């Protein structure tokens, strides 16, 4: 049981390049989330999904797109990377009941130069 796996773990992009971060979970969770974490800012919710084929905006969605074509995968896309998107990105998943815990991946450290 791998839990939540993020790919890649590290990446350096040039401004304007695009990339996709992959989040995979093997717990059959309905809900998945993408967060970014910057120094002194805590975790901020980018986008989330309440089930296969659905996505919704979080606190800071601009500059990102997401897709949930399969229940176990949640993809975060940067179409044209900017230095302001340099951050550590965390993916999480949870059951759809309000009293259950969320499981987090180990993070992707992205640097945009």
Partner 1 sequence: DAKTTQPPSMDCAEGRAANLPCNHSTISGNEYVYWYRQIHSQGPQYIIHGLKNNETNEMASLIITEDRKSSTLILPHATLRDTAVYYCIVRVAGGATNKLIFGTGTLLAVQP
Instruction: Name the minimum Å distance from CB 107 to partner 1.
Output: 6
Pattern 79-98, partner 1, x by CB under 8 A: ---------x-x-x-x-x-x
For 73-105, b where at least 16 C-beta lie within 10 A, e where not — what string?
ebbbebeebeeebbbebbbbbbeeeeeeeeebb
Q: Kindly identify the residues of this chain, within the stretch 38-67, that bind partner 1 according to CB under 8 A.
A: 40-45, 48, 50, 56, 58-59
113, β-bridge pairs: none
Residue with tokens 């815990």: 101
- 34 lies in the binding site for partner 1 (CB under 8 A): no
- 11 lies in the binding site for partner 1 (CB under 8 A): no
């Amino acid at each position: 049981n791998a839990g939540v796996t993020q790919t890649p773990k590290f990446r350096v992009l040039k401004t304007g390049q695009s990339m996709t971060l992959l989040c995979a979970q093997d717990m059959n969770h309905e809900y998945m989330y993408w967060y970014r974490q910057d120094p002194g800012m805590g975790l901020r919710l980018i986008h989330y999904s309440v089930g296969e084929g659905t996505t919704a905006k979080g606190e800071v969605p601009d500059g990102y797109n997401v897709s949930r074509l399969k229940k176990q995968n949640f993809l975060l896309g940067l179409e044209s990377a900017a230095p302001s998107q340099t951050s550590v990105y965390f993916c999480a998943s949870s059951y759809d009941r309000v009293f259950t815990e969320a499981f987090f991946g180990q993070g992707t450290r992205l640097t945009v130069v």
